[in-house]
A and B are shown apart, each in its own frame.
Chain A
Amino acid sequence: MTPSTQGSHLFMGVLSVQSIKKNEFTQQDVEKIKILANYISLCLISIETKNELKKVALELEEARNYFELKISNRTDKIKKQKKEIEEQNRNLSEQREMMLKLSKTLEEINTDLERQSMVARKTDNAIMVMDAVGNILWLNECFNRLYEYTHEKFQQVRGTNILQTSFNPNIGELLDKCITTKQVVHYDALNVKGDGTEVWTHTTLTPVLNDEGDITHLLTIDTDITELKEAQLKIEKQSLDITNSIHYAARIQKAVLPSKEELKQLFSDYFVIYRPRNIVSGDFYWHYQKNDKIVIAVADCTGHGVPGGFMSMLGIAFLNEIVASDSLRSAAQVLELLRLKVKLSLRQTGKINETSDGMDIALIIADTKREKLFFSGAFNKLLLNRNGKVTEYQGNKMPIGIYISDNIPFTDHVIDFKKDDCFYLFTDGVIDQFGGPNDRKFSLKKLKSLVTQNGSLAMKEQKKIYNDALDNWMGSADYQIDDICFMGFKF
């Protein structure tokens, strides 16, 4: 309702009253109607005002709601932005933390690299880094000290490739081996330093591989081993001197053993297998002849090598003394005298911590005129092959030397021998030798079997068979566990 206006008057509408009667209204009634119309206008104004107010209120409400919505939207947007900023902050914080960790890791790596670099620079080893074919890329500070060269001078004088710089005459082969096998190669070299003096170095040539396994660099680490090398040379010289001494001792030992000529005069046939484990032997064989009596002994002294050699010399000396002063009536008596001399000379009284050195021995005295043979043994045995039948004569189970039952006398075995009887004396190095398919002892049984099978053969042939059997059994001379002495003979 927007009425028309005229001046200060607003025309809002029309009020009309009608009557079905004529002359019902007068001019005065018109005035009354006008008054009523005024009231009605006030009512209409009131309604309009009320509506306007409602409209304003509604618009205000609308505006308020609109702004609330806008504010809400804005708030939501701000909240969203805030959330995004928080998320960004969190991401930044995580990134910062990651960066810090990365930085720390890099710092650690740097520290580690610095240490490695320091080690490479300051170490007492001369380090040389090369490309894959040996061209020098880097030398550490130790090169100055070790080789008395500046880096520039070193490459100027010695060259720029390991093939030129190395003093090892086989450097070409060593480099090829390193590159071909991609394995570390070690070698020694005597180098001439910048000041003209010499230095021994031990070099480790290492290939540096990439992820694909290809060589990218080569690395040498040289260690000064001059003192070590000098000590080694000294030891080698001393070792050679000692070996020479031992060889000389062996010559002396052999010289005191019976010669072939002497033995040939004693027997119609014989063999001796004499295999020291080391150069000198703890085993020995010995003979003595006086008129019709022949004394033969095969002994195994405690120990082997030099100690065994000493004991064997002692044993030989004592036996010589005994037979020179004895009437040679009994083999057992000879052993008892020998035991007495050993105990006395080695001062064996039975006390704790005393030496218990001594020997095992088999000794015979053959009376060739009466064809009688006396055998006595300290642990060792005598084998007799008569017409293919082998008889074993046991020695007493006690050694020559201090022993728990050393007051028991040795036993004499008396044998009437015949012309073709074959006698065998041996040390335990023969039957105790390990070997064969199951790495077991050669054994007395096997020896007796061999003797049984071959006793009719000439002693030279038998010697070959027994030697071959031992060789086959032990496989390698390095595997010999003890000195071996094996003697066969017939009168």
Chain B
Amino acid sequence: MTKRLQEIEDSYKNLLHAIKESDTFNESLVIEDIVKTSFKLIQQLFDVSFLTLGVYNNRSKGLDLLGISKEKEVISRRFEDMKDSNRWSVYCYQSQQDILFSGQNHFPEKHFSNLLFNDSLHTRESFIYGSIVRSEY
């Protein structure tokens, strides 16, 4: 009887795990909608080629990046580790500073003099990185 109870409890835990994984997936789908919606919205304001939303993942200690381009309008995914601070997104998240880059003449070198950024700039002539903050936490 005890053995049978243990088997049932194990089966139940496995089921819960499966549900959690499924929820994570659903969550991703919802975030994709946010990305798509945000991209449509922002296009009405600017001429935006790319939009990237990075959501902090506490388990993997990094940012789950979902990007969408004007050309393909499909979601691409990428992960950037918090250890890799040479990334613009990681830098933005860790420093909690908004970044505006509109051309080399406007590059805020004073902020990035010590950084060697890995992001290629030749396809992106201008960009903005803003942190997503929940106030009054």
Q: Which residues on A are within 8 Å of B, measured CB to CB? A: 1-6, 8-27, 29-30, 32-34, 36-41, 43-45, 47, 51, 54, 58, 62, 65-66, 69, 73
How many A-B contacts at CB < 8 Å in the complex?
A: 194
Q: Kindly state the separation between the CA atoms of A22 and B49 in the bound complex, as whole angstroms.
A: 12
Residues of A within 8 A of B47 (CB): 19, 21, 24
Which residues on the A side are within 8 Å of B14 (C-beta)? none
The answer to whether A22 touches B102, judged by C-beta atoms less than 8 angstroms apart, is yes
Q: Tell yes or no: B31 within 8 A of A by CB.
A: yes
In contact, A15 and B23 (Cβ under 8 angstroms): no
Q: Is B76 an interface residue (CB 8 A)?
A: no
Name the B residues within 8 Å of A29 (CB-CB): 45-46, 100, 128
A15 touches B45 (CB 8 A): no
Q: Is the CB of A30 within 8 A of B128?
A: yes
A1–B57 touching, CB < 8 Å: yes
- Bound CA–CA A13/B79 (angstroms): 12
Q: Which 5 A-B pairs have the closest CB atoms?
A: A2-B58, A22-B125, A18-B124, A14-B54, A10-B137
Judge whether A37 and B127 touch: CB under 8 Å: no
- Choose one: B52, B54, B126, B134; the contact of A10 (CB below 8 Å): B134
How far does the alpha carbon of A29 sit from the alpha carbon of B106 in the complex, in Å? Answer: 15
Q: Which of A8, A38, A51 contacts B23 (CB 8 A)?
A: A51
> Across the two chains, which residue of chain B brings its CB closest to A65?
B12
* Interface CB pairs A-B, < 8 A, 9: A1-B55, A11-B96, A11-B132, A12-B56, A14-B92, A15-B52, A23-B102, A30-B128, A40-B38
Contact between chains at A15 and B130 (CB < 8 Å): yes
A158–B127 alpha-carbon span in the complex (Å): 143
Chain B residue numbers with a CB within 8 Å of A4 are 56, 93
Contacts of A32 in B (CB 8 A): 45
CB contact under 8 A between A34 and B16, given known A17-B48, A19-B126, A47-B31: no
| Docked-complex contact A9 and B134, CB < 8 angstroms | yes
Near A by CB (< 8 A), chain B positions 24-83 give 27, 30-31, 34, 38, 41-42, 45-58, 63
Chain B positions within 8 Å of A66 at CB level: 9, 12
Q: Which of A22, A36, A41, A51 contacts B126 (CB 8 A)?
A: A22
Bound-state CA distance A54–B57 (Å) is 19
CB of B63 within 8 A of CB of A19, answer no
- Chain B residues near A23: list those with CB within 8 A: 102-103, 106, 125-126
Contact between chains at B130 and A16 (CB < 8 Å): yes
CB pair B30 A37 closer than 8 Å: no
Instruction: With CB as the reference atom, state the residue of chain A lying closest to B106.
Output: A23
Asked if A19 and B56 sit within 8 Å, CB to CB, the answer is no
Closest to B37 in A: A43
Q: A3-B58, A16-B129, A18-B50 are in contact. Are A34 and B123 (CB under 8 A)?
A: no
Residue interface mask B108-137, A partner, CB < 8 A = 1: 000000000000000111111111111111
Bound: A37/B1 CA distance, A: 55
If the complex has contacts A24-B46, A29-B45, are A16 and B136 also in contact, measured as CB distance less than 8 A? Answer: no
**A25 cross-chain contacts in B, Cβ below 8 A:** 46, 100-102, 126-128
Kindly state the separation between the CA atoms of A34 and B52 in the bound complex, as whole angstroms.
14
A-chain residues with CB within 8 Å of residue B5 when the two chains form the complex: 69, 73
Asked if residues A11 and B131 are in contact (CB atoms below 8 Å), the reply is yes
Which residues of A have CB within 8 Å of B49?
A: 18-21
